[in-house]
Amino acid sequence: MNNNQRKIILIRANLFRSTKIIGRMNPFVKLITKNKEYKSSINKGGEKQPIWNSTELIEVQDGENIKLLIMDFNSRSNPELIAETTLSSHELNGYYGKKDVHFQNQLVGQIELQIQKKTEINPEYLGNFKQVQNILQNNQTNQETHLGPQYQYP
């Protein structure tokens, strides 16, 4: 994962607004960056309390804000907007919690999500870590075999 990638975990939402008079809402999340759109899975029949528990890997530029839209999937027409919010560049550096979502400038619910900024692990550090781990395991094995009878149960 490079420095511009973010792992966004969409957990659930609690919405006060429905786009349906008859039938059930099928919410999904659309994340919009400057260069690309990302879509979550559809929570069929999720209505006003959808649970996604899905992870999206997105790529953002430094200082970029992204738009998060909660949409209602319709098989016979275009998806309808349920709610929206903006994730700031500060939040994209790490966030966990509930974020208010709005429709036409009115609060219509919250979405629970987690954002992680991941950086690549230097392979040199990983190699050193494995060497240290092997040394510790060997020392533990040596200590166990050289404890002698005074440390053994009768």
Q: Residue range 54-68: average pLDDT?
A: 92
**Most confident stretch, 2-16, 92-106, 116-130:** 92-106
- Can you point out the beta strands (E) in the chain? 5-15, 27-32, 37-39, 51-59, 66-72, 80-87, 95-103, 106-117
Instruction: For the chain, give the longest Cα–Cα distance.
Output: 78
Give how far Cα 48 sits from Cα of 45, 59, 70, 90, Å. Answer: 9, 29, 11, 28
Which pLDDT value is given to residue 136? 65
Which pLDDT value is given to residue 121? 57
User: Closest by alpha carbon to 15, among 72, 76, 88, 87?
Assistant: 72
Ordered by start, the domain boundaries in the chain are 5-117, 122-154
Domain 5-117 has CATH 3.10.110.10: no
What percent of the chain is modeled with pLDDT above 70? Answer: 75
Which pLDDT value is given to residue 76? 86
What 3-state DSSP class applies to 36?
A: coil
Position 125 confidence tier, pLDDT thresholds 50, 70, 90: low
Position 23 confidence tier, pLDDT thresholds 50, 70, 90: confident
Position 153 confidence tier, pLDDT thresholds 50, 70, 90: very low
Write the pLDDT tens digit of every residue in 76-108.
889 999 999 999 999 998 999 999 999 999 999
Specify the DSSP class assigned to residue 64.
-
Give CA–CA dist 98/141, Å, rounded.
47
User: Closest by alpha carbon to 14, among 75, 79, 97?
Assistant: 97
The pTM of this model reads 0.75
Specify the DSSP class assigned to residue 63.
T
- Judged on CB neighbours under 10 Å (0-12, 13-18, 19+), 76 is exposed
